[in-house]
């Protein structure tokens, strides 16, 4: 039988389980009909028969038998004498079915057809992958770690598709070993060198949102809505939630009895602190809640400039700002307001003090800003704290802090 073994090519289809049989047959037919058009000029009178199970292919040529000398279209008609050579019992008016020997196309044409077929299959698999994961962006997936590199981790899904978790999308405390299963959210599908690359993320707010949806049935059922999530991955996150049922406390439902619901998420996020707050359209109340765990004394709002000056007791300032300024940064992102923190004057004091900006000729502005971030906006507010505490709460070097304290102390000594 004149056929060409396409087992390897069909195996490619078999591996791509999402490619349906009709699509497979159509691709093979298109490839070989192109071959026929190149050789005969038309494929109108040819049938391409594919046996996907066995991995072989046949091409049948159809021609009508006509009287000798009456052949008008050699592609569609054959003279009786020529037909009788193939089978003596043929008669004029019958249709002749003849198998085309594919080897007649020539080795070069056959090789080109197989390469085209392989290319088409590859494109189909790419399109299937793009559609499959493109429709699932924002979903959580569990995948196995296959290879760990410096800048990214390669994972495999259940079907063996490759997924990428870049370093930038990993929580700083993440540590992966080959063979372990990890969870991440499908962030996007990129194209690299004409091939789809599925990018996962563990730092996206969507990842936290989906984890909450899994752990909190009320969110999954739509009784509680997540209004906004802001994160500093691995450190702290703030989640604003709202209940559509007056009988349900959204914060309590998300946290669970004795923190039962939130603890699993915290472990997944490598001990990331998660502040769940009740969403409100009252911006003053929202700012107050967003600065949790700090307690605010009072605030001044400028709604036009979207700015808030928040005043707190001295022992609450560091809580409001948080380690490395993370708490106040997230509060700003959550509320959309620029929040400045100030110490509340607890009592009127006759003690002489100097605004830190007055020292801008001796202390660099960026250093002054670092002190202001932790609520130290005057000379005495810095001198009241130890060098160790200032070093712990700011990003400044110990030597820099000591130099600043020396400048401030000398100024106060002169004034006294």
Q: What is the pLDDT of residue 10?
A: 52
Specify the higher pLDDT residue, 47 or 145.
Answer: 145
Starting from the edge strand earliest in sequence, which strands make up the sheet with 236-243, in order? 224-232, 236-243, 273-278
Assess whether pLDDT exceeds 60 at residue 101. yes
**DSSP symbol at 375:** T
For residues 383-388, average pLDDT: 87
- Structure token digits, residue 183: 């969870």
Q: What is the pLDDT of residue 121?
A: 73
Q: What is the pLDDT of residue 39?
A: 76
Mean pLDDT is lowest, of 214-228, 333-347, 388-402, for 333-347
For residues 203-223, average pLDDT: 94
Assess whether pLDDT exceeds 80 at residue 105. no
Assess whether pLDDT exceeds 90 at residue 202. yes
Q: What is the pLDDT of residue 120?
A: 74
Q: What is the pLDDT of residue 246?
A: 86
Assess whether pLDDT exceeds 60 at residue 3. no
The answer to whether residues 311 and 299 touch, using CB atoms and an 8 Å cutoff, is yes
- CA gap 275, 320 in Å, rounded: 13
- CA gap 101, 107 in Å, rounded: 12
> Pairing relation of β-strands 298-302 and 273-278?
unpaired
Specify the higher pLDDT residue, 385 or 228.
Answer: 228
For residues 291-298, average pLDDT: 88
Assess whether pLDDT exceeds 70 at residue 52. no
Specify the higher pLDDT residue, 288 or 64.
Answer: 288
pLDDT over 90 percentage in the chain: 37
Kindly report the number of other CB atoms within 10 A of residue 83's CB atom.
23
337 band by pLDDT with thresholds 50, 70 and 90 = very high
Mean pLDDT is lowest, of 135-139, 238-242, 264-268, 342-346, for 342-346
277 band by pLDDT with thresholds 50, 70 and 90 = very high
What torsion, rounded to 10 degrees, do the Cα atoms 136, 142, 148, 153 define? 20
For residues 318-328, average pLDDT: 86
7-131 in CATH: which number?
Answer: 3.30.1480
Specify the higher pLDDT residue, 18 or 246.
Answer: 246
Q: How far is CA 140 from the centre of its chain?
A: 10
**DSSP symbol at 235:** T
- Structure token digits, residue 303: 């709604």
Query: In the block, which residue shows the tokens 């080897």?
Result: 103
- CA gap 144, 158 in Å, rounded: 8
The DSSP-derived string for 11-40 is HHHHH-TTS-HHHHHHHHHHHHHHHHHHHH
For residues 403-414, average pLDDT: 86
Q: According to the per-residue pLDDT averaged within each range, which of 42-46, 121-125, 240-244, 318-322 is highest?
A: 240-244
The answer to whether residues 155 and 168 touch, using CB atoms and an 8 Å cutoff, is no
- CA gap 215, 244 in Å, rounded: 18
**DSSP symbol at 378:** B
- CA gap 246, 260 in Å, rounded: 22
- CA gap 112, 106 in Å, rounded: 10
Residue 199's DSSP bridge partners are 164, 188
Assess whether pLDDT exceeds 70 at residue 373. yes
Average of per-residue pLDDT values in the chain: 83
For residues 35-49, average pLDDT: 78
Assess whether pLDDT exceeds 50 at residue 7. no
The answer to whether residues 216 and 224 touch, using CB atoms and an 8 Å cutoff, is yes
Nearest of 309, 315, 341 to residue 328 by alpha carbon: 341
Q: Do the domains spanning 7-131 and 142-201 agree at the CATH topology level?
A: no
- Structure token digits, residue 49: 């028969």
The answer to whether residues 194 and 214 touch, using CB atoms and an 8 Å cutoff, is no
Q: Which residues lie closer than 8 Å to 90 by C-beta, 6 or more apart?
A: 65, 80, 83, 84, 96
Assess whether pLDDT exceeds 90 at residue 232. yes
4 band by pLDDT with thresholds 50, 70 and 90 = very low
Residue 232's DSSP bridge partners are 236
* Helices vs strands, H then E, count in the chain: 15, 15
pTM for this prediction: 0.63
Q: How far is CA 403 from the centre of its chain?
A: 46
Q: What is the pLDDT of residue 2?
A: 37
- Is the domain defined by 142-201 classed in CATH 3.40.50.720? no
Tens of pLDDT, residue by residue over 252-271, are: 999 988 888 999 999 999 99
pLDDT over 70 percentage in the chain: 90
Tens of pLDDT, residue by residue over 112-166, are: 777 777 777 777 777 778 888 888 899 999 999 999 999 999 999 988 888 999 9
Domain boundaries, the chain: 7-131, 142-201, 356-415
The answer to whether residues 382 and 389 touch, using CB atoms and an 8 Å cutoff, is no
**C-alpha torsion sign, points 306, 307, 313, 316:** positive
- CA gap 235, 241 in Å, rounded: 20
């Amino acid at each position: 039988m004149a056929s060409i073994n396409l087992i390897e090519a069909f195996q490619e289809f078999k591996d791509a389980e999402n490619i349906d049989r009709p699509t497979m047959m159509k691709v093979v037919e298109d490839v070989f009909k192109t071959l026929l058009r190149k050789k005969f000029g038309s494929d109108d009178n040819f049938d391409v028969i594919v046996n996907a199970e066995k991995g072989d292919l046949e091409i049948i040529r159809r021609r009508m038998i006509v009287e000798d000398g009456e052949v008008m279209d050699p592609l569609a008609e054959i003279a009786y004498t020529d037909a009788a050579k193939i089978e003596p019992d043929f008669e004029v008016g019958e249709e002749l079915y003849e198998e085309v020997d594919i080897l007649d196309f020539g080795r070069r044409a056959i090789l080109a057809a197989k390469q085209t077929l392989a290319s088409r299959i590859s494109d189909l698999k790419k399109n299937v992958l793009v559609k499959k994961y493109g429709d699932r962006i924002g979903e959580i997936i569990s995948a196995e770690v296959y290879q760990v590199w410096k800048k990214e981790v390669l994972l495999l899904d259940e079907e063996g598709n490759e997924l990428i978790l870049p370093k930038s999308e990993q929580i700083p405390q993440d540590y992966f070993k080959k063979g372990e299963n990890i969870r991440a959210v499908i962030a996007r599908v990129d194209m690299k060198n004409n091939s789809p690359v599925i990018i996962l993320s563990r730092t996206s707010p969507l990842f936290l949102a989906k984890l909450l949806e899994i752990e909190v049935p009320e969110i999954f059922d739509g009784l509680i809505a997540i209004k906004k999530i802001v994160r500093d991955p691995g450190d702290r996150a703030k989640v604003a939630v709202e209940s559509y049922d007056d009988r349900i406390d959204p914060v309590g439902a998300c946290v669970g009895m004795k923190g039962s619901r939130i603890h699993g998420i915290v472990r997944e996020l490598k001990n990331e602190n998660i502040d769940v707050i009740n969403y409100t359209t009252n911006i003053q109340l929202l700012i107050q809640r967003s600065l949790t765990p700090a307690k605010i004394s009072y605030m001044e709002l400028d709604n036009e400039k979207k700015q808030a000056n928040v005043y707190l007791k001295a022992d609450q300032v560091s809580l409001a700002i948080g380690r490395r300024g993370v708490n106040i940064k997230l509060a700003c992102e959550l509320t959309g307001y620029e929040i400045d923190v100030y110490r509340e004057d607890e009592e009127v004091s006759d003690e002489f003090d100097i605004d830190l900006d007055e020292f801008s000729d001796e202390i660099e502005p960026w250093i002054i800003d670092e002190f202001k971030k932790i609520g130290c906006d005057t000379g005495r507010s810095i001198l009241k704290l130890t060098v160790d505490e200032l070093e712990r709460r700011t990003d400044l070097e110990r030597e820099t802090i000591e130099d600043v304290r020396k400048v401030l102390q000398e100024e106060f000594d002169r004034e006294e």
